[in-house]
Amino acid sequence: MGTLGIPKNTIDILNKYDFAIQKKFGQNFLIDSHVLEKIIKAADITKNDFVLEIGPGIGTLTQYLCENAREVIAVEIDRMLIPILEETLSDYENITILNQDILKVDILSLVKEHNNNKPIKVVANLPYYITTPIIMELFEKKIPLAGVTVMIQKEVADRIQAEPGSKDYGALSLAVQYYAKPYIAAYVPPNCFIPRPKVGSAVINLTPYEKPLYHVEDEALLFSLIRASFNQRRKTFANGVNNYEGLSYSKDNIIEVLNALGIPVDIRGEALTLEQFVQIANRLAINNS
């Protein structure tokens, strides 16, 4: 089987299996070998690595991963792709294909069984509608990660690495930056895929922090404050938290904490840094304990 980074090979295999592209799975197949090489480079895949690939599709990137990694497990939700993957990856001994929904896979067991609980590398070409749940699942479940390299919608990548005060900055920027350092390795135009998506994509690499950046008394509270402050973006932070169903702090409570920390009381969530969110959450947690 030839490499799938060549458009003709991709078209041939889709035709051979009479494969119908599934809108519901957000399927777009990559047909640019330069981009594939950039992903491998950004993910820093070596022969020592165990790689978990999410959404291998027809195996385009998987072929490159198998060439460069020690072992690859590819998790594909669409069972119609399984026979295609079995053919396109038939030359490789170091691949296991799982026909499952990644959000239901026990990744911790895979890490234990295949990598002795050492940090793994995750590589994925993610449909935009499921990008955030998958990225957050990897971090929140405390899976040992050496790095996460994903192809996602450009706009989501921009949001992940956004700085305070910019229009892209929001709950997703803070949630990801709490766990990892984001870096956009490449922007990828629509013509690098079959079918062409309507929007541009980006390859983003997330390098998890070895130890947390900040001491946090109550993580759940921190994330609730973050969500509350972006829930009604135009409101001040104090009003946003006061109006948020999941939290029971009065506006006076919040203003008192902001004053104590020397933060302007009329500040909006989009102007607060992660460190300031942590300071506010810790003070509220301590006041309540």
Q: Domain of 101: which CATH number?
A: 3.40.50.150
pLDDT at 3 (0 to 100): 76
> Do residues 96 and 74 touch, judged by C-beta distance below 8 A?
yes
Structurally, the chain folds into a number of domains equal to: 2
Same domain for 95 and 193, yes or no, is yes
Tell me whether residue 2 is in a domain. Answer: no
C-alpha torsion 21→22→26→32, nearest 10: -10
Closest CA to 261 of 244, 240, 278: 278
Residue 1 lies in a domain: no
Strand pairing report for 193-194 and 95-98: unpaired
Cis peptide before 195 (omega within 30 of 0): yes
What is the extent of the structural domain holding 142? 7-208
pLDDT of 173: 95
Angle between helices 131-140 and 171-179 (to 10 degrees): 30
Shared domain check, 165 and 65: yes
User: In this predicted structure, what is the pLDDT of residue 31?
Assistant: 87
Q: What is the mean pLDDT of each run of 10 residues along the chain (289 residues)?
A: 75 80 71 92 96 94 96 95 95 97 95 97 86 90 95 94 94 95 95 89 95 93 94 89 90 95 96 97 88
CA distance 265 to 84: 58
Q: Verify that 51 and 144 share a domain, yes or no.
A: yes
Looking at the fold, whether 204 and 227 belong to one and the same domain comes out as no
Shared-domain flag, residues 202 and 228? no
pLDDT value for 48: 96
Residue 4 CA to its chain's centroid (Å): 24
Do 238 and 200 sit in the same domain of this protein? Answer: no
Looking at 170, 188, 208, the residue that finishes a domain is 208
Do 20 and 119 have their domain in common? Answer: yes
Domain co-membership, 49 together with 78: yes
Give the end of a domain, one of 208, 231, 252.
208
Q: Which helix (H) or strand (E) holds 122?
A: strand 120-125
CA distance 158 to 200: 11
User: Strand, coil or helix: what is 207?
Assistant: strand
Q: How high is the pLDDT of residue 39? A: 94
